[in-house]
A and B are shown apart, each in its own frame.
Chain A
Amino acid sequence: MRWFFLILAIAVVATVYAIGPRGVKFSDPPFELFPDMDHQYRVNPQKPSGFFEDGQGSRKPIEGTVPVGFELPHAGNEADLTSDLDFSRGDSYFDTGLFGDFYGSGYPETLELDAAFLARGKQRFQITCTPCHGNSGNGAGVVSKYWAIPPSANLIDARVSAMPEGQIFWTITHGKGLMGPYNGVLSVNDRWAIVAYVKSLQAAAGN
């Protein structure tokens, strides 16, 4: 009996020492006591899949096809079909900011320009544009405080203020200079909302 309790005490101390307290940082995948159906044979968002040759669960549309609800770019012009991501945009001013080869000015007719639209633009601007262009759009975002990289455009100066809406939309979509494209992060609607908010910043700055 004495021996039993002695061994038990040692075992308890050893176990407590081995498992440690809750909340300790560790890097191996968490232990799962009952993993039943926790990991089902299906593809979760952004997860890999062994089913496909390249191991990616997220699939691009098969070459030469277009998802429902999207348009082919420049329909009829086969040479333009090489860009496999461009299918998501139609040819309209709303989708491109362009009329033919020219930047359009003004907003597409399908948009309802109201206070909620502008508020949406402000919110998205402050999420996506502020780090580089600054809260007021003056090009002095937080990035310029810490790193000596070429300055971001001042969105409220005379040069950008003179740009038509379509050009600003096009720039958000495709990027320009060092700025990358933001078409993968911002929906078409949100891009127009940001254009509207940038225009309001310019108006507030007197341009």
Chain B
Amino acid sequence: MGNIFPRWTNLLAIKVLLCAGALGTCVIAVAWYSWTPKYTRVGYMPQQPIPFDHSLHAGQLGMDCRYCHSFVEDSLHSNVPTAQVCWNCHGPGKVKSDSPKLEPLRQAMDENSENYTGKPIEWVQIHKVPDYAYFNHSVHVNRGVSCVECHGKVNEMPVVFHAEPMSMSWCLDCHRNPEKALRPLDQITNLDWTPDDLDQDDFYSYVSAQTGKSAEDLKKGDEGKEWGQDLIGSHLQMAWDVHPPQDCAACHR
């Protein structure tokens, strides 16, 4: 009785393991890279019924976000403007009222238009939180978190796209380190704001009025620290007593 297994089978097990390992590594690498909102959501740029240009309205014209998203400070939902709001500027005899791009608006608003339907414009939602997570715009906007933290520099986007992953770990990054995102309340909708725009004396007197500590003490405590987002954010966090919840029930009710 000779050998049942021929010579080449000696290395078979090792080869199979090697191949399986290589294949597994590749599959995991691809999944790690692409099965995440960083890949699946960032860059989502749907075509809207009207090619509304945010870089023109919010950037060039300098309109405030809240001209259209008027109830973001009062509501958990940041409203898309009604057709009436568009119509206030683009109605008959006003800005670019004949533009073919505005045809859906005329269908919604212009009773003299031949295609008048009176139905709302069907804007496509870009940023969507899953239905089991309850995000509240007003609490963030009223506590110094700017639009730009989640939506990116919309004032530079001709067509708005999904700029941040909006995954749960991304939410938690900020809830664990809120000082990275807090800014003075009057600069919430100023998407180009940087800490250098802030007058240091004004800032310290504001914080001192909020916390009851003297501005001199605050300044002394900050000696040697770099003026920047972390410094401003940590003062504002203290001043407003910001403690973002990190338990499940905060967002998943």
Interface residues of A (CB under 8 A from B): 1, 4-5, 8, 11-12, 15-16, 19, 22-33, 37-40, 42, 44-48, 54, 56, 123, 126-128, 130-132, 142-143, 146-147, 149-150, 175, 178-182, 184-186
Contacts and interface: CB of A to CB of B under 8 A. Distances in A.
A179 B61 contact: no
Contacts of A48: 122
A154 B156 CA distance: 31
B62 A142 contact: yes
Contacts of B40: 30-33
The secondary-structure label for the interface of chain B is loop
B30 interface: yes
A181 B131 CA distance: 34
Contacts of A123: 186
B144 to A, nearest CB: 16
A38 B93 contact: no
A171 to B, nearest CB: 13
Contact of A40 (B15, B46, B87, B132): B132
A150 B19 CA distance: 75
B35 A33 contact: yes
B132 A45 contact: no
A22 B67 contact: no
A185 B45 contact: no
Interface string B176-202: 000000000010000000000000000
B56 to A, nearest CB: 10
A124 to B, nearest CB: 9
